[in-house]
Structure 1
């Protein structure tokens, strides 16, 4: 396994960066798991997957549980581009007292994780029901990177490909796509 150097760093991908990462030219990619947080559609997307008038939802993280994804080794020259892309998220270094990233070989990586900013006006708190989240995704306007339905389908397909059952994603997927 390659370790980060002064010229590179690891970032944990749990959403679109898994399949949309070519602008960062990853040096290496590993199957990995984030222990201490789980995926949640908890961030209004007013640009990428929706508009200000009709926002969509983007994936973020909430503390507790675990999340299967990918770890990417990226050249440090891409740090500012990555931070811009992940605007509205807080970069957190792991391992820390709440989270760690573990590879499929059971190695702990020093990794950056982009966590939802719970103080942001675009944060969708945990008390918003799954039905309300589904309605936001269904009614969002198309943003610069498409719509929330496609985004939900892409993450669902990734998890199915990896044989990962994520109840929150499956339940949301079922509700969003039951009323095509």
Structure 2
């Protein structure tokens, strides 16, 4: 059994980050996807899969809230990529007055995640569901690709992956150091919840698959410190 690590970022600290926020709607600069766009993109990806299996690689929220249906899951590793909080958001888990940061895959290192297999007779349906969850505007299109990922058994499969590379105007380059990311995650909240909650859920659900991401672990420690400093006068309930 792997050693159980005790997180610094607790549910009680995450709860302190929540506040009611209204949905500001999409930024004026966005070019929203149309129904025709979704249909065309779904057709293209379905053709690219062909008769082979459809795997979708999850490294963040797709692990704990996929938005599509699957029939199997396996641990897998994408080499040459790593998780980074480098996508600026002003909606969802951030706001125009307090923008947040979401995870993407950036060049370098490795990323241990989970691949989900879609039923063979549902490939088109599940591709469209995944697209509607992950691709809301044309700005997102360049960040979607097929990645070769290696499973624990040693075989390599091709998996559809979202927010990997790309040239979105919302991507922050060069990458921010963890000490600069932590204050943002401790403060940002939108109508769908806080960035601290997003980090917490990701670390917790990765652990369920036995995955330990060193950078995320250090980041949750830094975010916990930030939240405690921000709410120094607020009593914090500890775990039993």
Distance in 2 (CA, whole Å) between partners of 1:143 and 1:55 is 12
State the 1:106 CA deviation.
1.1
Q: Please tell me whether residue 173 in structure 1 is matched to residue 237 in structure 2.
A: no
- Identify the residue that residue 33 of structure 1 maps to in structure 2: 77
Q: Distance in 2 between matches of 1:59 and 1:135?
A: 15
Task: Render the CA deviation track for 1:29-85: whole Å, top value 9, x for unaligned.
Answer: 112111121111111222221123322211111111111111012322122331232
- Written as runs of structure 1 = structure 2, the 5 A alignment for 1:35-114 is 35-74=79-118, 75-87=123-135, 88=140, 90-94=143-147, 100-114=148-162
Q: Give the helix-richer structure, 1 or 2.
A: 2
Larger of the two Rg values belongs to structure: 2
Match of 2:185?
137
Greater per-residue strand proportion: 1
Q: Secondary structure at the match of 2:181?
A: helix
* Distance of 1:28 and 1:93 partners within structure 2: 19
Comparing 115-124 and 54-63, the one that deviates more: 115-124
Structure 1-normalised TM-score? 0.83
Contact kept? 1:51, 1:141, Cα under 8 Å: yes
**Which stretches of structure 1, 4 residues or longer, exceed 6 Å deviation after superposition?**
none
Give the structure-2-normalised TM-score.
0.64
State the 1:8 CA deviation.
Answer: 5.6
Mind listing any 5+ residue stretches in structure 2 that lack a counterpart?
1-48, 229-240
Task: State the superposition RMSD in angstroms.
Answer: 2.2
Which runs of 5 or more structure 1 residues have no equivalent in the other structure?
Answer: 95-99
